[in-house]
Chains A and B, each alone.
Chain A
Amino acid sequence: MTILDTIVQGVLLGGLYALFAAGLSLVFGIMRLVNLAHGDLIVLAAFLILVLVNGLGLNPFLAVLIVMPLMFIAGYALQAVLLNRTLGKDVLPPLLVTFGLSIVLQNALLEGFSADSRRISAGALETASINLGAVTIGLMPLMAFLSAVAVIVGLNLLIYRTALGRAFRATSDDPVTAGLMGIRPRQVFAVATGLAMAVVAIAALYLGTRANFDPTAGPARLIYAFEAVIIGGLGSLWGTLAGGVILGVAQTLGAAVNPEWQILSGHLAFLAVLLIRPRGLFPRAVD
């Protein structure tokens, strides 16, 4: 494996991490809420896709189109019923509640699906690749990366070009004044979490087709997502993609030296960025 190939694989892996992170970044940018159950929600969505693929024999790409609206509704309800009540001046309640939710989800998934590790089968696509001489690009990793770019372009269009996006930004700036504009902050937050969960469904597809997963796989995904968001700078979605790519490249480079170093070198890259730029690479100007 050449170094170029290693870097390309890392970049593509970064797309997957950006997908893990985009929803987290969106929600944090709008309501300063860190959802510690984010990784477990990705795993939940992966199991939902698995059920549709194995149970009904659906194509996984079709299954994800069904799971996306389901996850949107789940996210909307989660925010409206539970998380909105935890928002306030104190930052601790949302952390405690989502930490609890993480444990509840893991146990419910264990109960429902056992501890066995599973995989979503994407058929022939799994092994399909494009050979570019020194570099071989797997079709699924490429699609994960392109999906991440598409998700970020889509979310940015929404945030910067639509009335809903203006409401997101205004509510993030000043919820009281947003209320005077006719915006209902709690409803806006529920839509944002719903969108984040729809993105989570896309992330779940590539999580489940790339490697095995089990009910306890969530927290590690949360850490990668978290690191991607922090490296990129809070509130910037392109920053989150850059963060994912840095993490992915660090991991594949580490793994190329010694396979056991993959995870460690990702965390080291994260720490290095934090040391040099504590606010991340592309922090939002207004905060």
Chain B
Amino acid sequence: MTALLETKGLKAFYGDFQALFGVDITVAEGETIAIIGANGAGKTTLMRALSGVLTNAPDSVFCRGEAVGALAAPDILARGIAMVSEGRRLFPSLTVEENLMIGAYGKRRGAWTLATVYDLFPILKERRANPATALSGGQQQMVAIGRALMANPDVLLCDEISLGLAPVVVRDIYAAFPRIRESGAAIVIVEQDIGQALKVANRVYCMMEGRITLSGRPEALSRAAIHAAYFGAQSHDHS
């Protein structure tokens, strides 16, 4: 069976600097995948390659078997892959509602509409006419997630949605995930919060220095193995 989304030997470069050294991941229909790893491990670079922001790995990214590594972001979106970028990246010139509506610019029909997104995050409806960047961090993250959902994606990529948010706010946001899963979308979450990642994911990949160092089902992974894969063998002794 061909995977919904897959990378094979994915390498990425920023000029001379190599950020990914042959990354292999697969995402199946309806699955929730977590990608964990310390700062600088290459998680965001991987997300950029999957979403079409980086387009220089033509033979390493596949969507339903089709090589899509050279396609630009709008073409990737047309294949059902939407991303919640690191740092949210809302459009400051647009209101909350306009930010959500622009998520549907690609016109993929499905269960997610303004009404269902407001149902998922009711606070956004109250604040719909506000400039998006006038909202609290947690609310802005809800806009970012809602905006990606408006494209009715088959795969939702979420890059560090809990970054900089208070634990209660993070809990509220993750509370929306079961309903997102019910809509049929596969989810790829990038997290530094290992506990949160292990709780929601069917499968986990751990990255370090541009490589996948561990993968498997959360219940099958020991704490020690995750720790080694996350921090590297040397720092294992220190903690």
| Residue total for A at the interface (Cβ-Cβ under 8 A) | 18
Q: Contacts of A173 on B, CB cut-off 8 Å?
A: 91-94
Q: Contacts of B52 on A, CB cut-off 8 Å?
A: 179-180
Secondary structure of the A side of the interface?
helix
Q: Contacts of A174 on B, CB cut-off 8 Å?
A: 89, 91
Q: Contacts of A178 on B, CB cut-off 8 Å?
A: 91, 102
Of A163, A167, A179, the residue contacting B73 (CB under 8 A) is A179
Q: Contacts of A169 on B, CB cut-off 8 Å?
A: 91, 93-94, 98
**Is the beta-carbon distance between B93 and A167 smaller than 8 angstroms?**
no
Tell me the bound Cα distance from A182 to B72 in angstroms: 9
For the complex formed, measure the closest distance between the CB of A221 and the CB atoms of chain B, giving whole angstroms: 29
Interface set, chain A 164-195, CB cutoff 8 A to B: 166-167, 169-170, 172-174, 176-184
**Is the beta-carbon distance between B102 and A184 smaller than 8 angstroms?**
no
Please, what's the 1-or-0 string for B85-98, where 1 marks a CB less than 8 Å from any CB in chain A? 10001011110001
Which of B30-38, B76-84, B179-187, B189-197 lies at the binding interface? B76-84
Among the interface residues B73, B94, B98, B103, which one has the most CB atoms of the partner chain A within 10 A?
B73
Secondary structure of the B side of the interface?
loop
Q: Contacts of B102 on A, CB cut-off 8 Å?
A: 163, 166-167, 170, 178, 181, 183
**Is the beta-carbon distance between B73 and A180 smaller than 8 angstroms?**
yes
Tell me the bound Cα distance from A4 to B87 in angstroms: 55
For the complex formed, measure the closest distance between the CB of B112 and the CB atoms of chain A, giving whole angstroms: 14
A181-B89 contact given A169-B94, A170-B94, A176-B53, CB 8 Å threshold: no
Please, what's the 1-or-0 string for A189-205, where 1 marks a CB less than 8 Å from any CB in chain B? 00000000000000000
Q: Contacts of A184 on B, CB cut-off 8 Å?
A: 72, 74
B105 at the binding interface (Cβ < 8 Å): yes
**Is the beta-carbon distance between B74 and A172 smaller than 8 angstroms?**
no
For the complex formed, measure the closest distance between the CB of A48 and the CB atoms of chain B, giving whole angstroms: 34
B151 at the binding interface (Cβ < 8 Å): yes
A179-B94 contact given A163-B101, A166-B102, A167-B105, CB 8 Å threshold: no
Tell me the bound Cα distance from A163 to B94 in angstroms: 12
A180-B85 contact given A169-B91, A170-B94, A286-B93, CB 8 Å threshold: yes
Tell me the bound Cα distance from A9 to B162 in angstroms: 60
**Is the beta-carbon distance between B53 and A170 smaller than 8 angstroms?**
no
Tell me the bound Cα distance from A169 to B98 in angstroms: 10
Considering only CB atoms, which chain A residue lies closest to B99 in the complex?
A170
A286-B92 contact given A167-B102, A181-B102, A183-B105, CB 8 Å threshold: yes
Considering only CB atoms, which chain B residue lies closest to A284 in the complex?
B93
Tell me the bound Cα distance from A150 to B151 in angstroms: 35
**Is the beta-carbon distance between A181 and B93 smaller than 8 angstroms?**
no
B106 at the binding interface (Cβ < 8 Å): yes
Considering only CB atoms, which chain B residue lies closest to A235 in the complex?
B93
Tell me the bound Cα distance from A177 to B86 in angstroms: 11
B51 at the binding interface (Cβ < 8 Å): yes
A180-B105 contact given A166-B98, A173-B91, CB 8 Å threshold: no
B147 at the binding interface (Cβ < 8 Å): yes
Considering only CB atoms, which chain A residue lies closest to B51 in the complex?
A180
Tell me the bound Cα distance from A172 to B94 in angstroms: 11
A181-B147 contact given A166-B98, A166-B102, CB 8 Å threshold: yes
A163-B77 contact given A169-B91, A180-B53, CB 8 Å threshold: no
**Is the beta-carbon distance between A177 and B105 smaller than 8 angstroms?**
no
Residues of A within 8 A of B (CB): 163, 166-167, 169-170, 172-174, 176-184, 286
- Not counting A173-B92, A179-B72, A286-B93, a sample of 19 additional A-B residue pairs whose C-beta atoms are within 8 angstroms of each other reads A166-B98, A166-B105, A169-B93, A169-B98, A173-B91, A173-B93, A176-B53, A177-B85, A177-B89, A178-B102, A179-B52, A179-B73, A179-B74, A180-B52, A180-B53, A180-B77, A181-B102, A183-B105, A184-B74
* Shortest 9 CB-CB contacts between residues of A and residues of B: A182-B106, A179-B73, A169-B93, A177-B89, A173-B91, A170-B91, A182-B77, A182-B74, A182-B105
Query: Please, could you name 29 A-B residue pairs with CB atoms under 8 Å apart, sorted by A?
Result: A163-B102, A163-B105, A166-B94, A166-B98, A166-B101, A166-B105, A169-B93, A169-B98, A173-B94, A174-B89, A177-B89, A178-B102, A179-B52, A179-B72, A180-B53, A180-B73, A180-B82, A180-B85, A181-B77, A181-B103, A181-B151, A182-B77, A182-B78, A182-B106, A182-B151, A183-B102, A183-B105, A184-B72, A286-B92
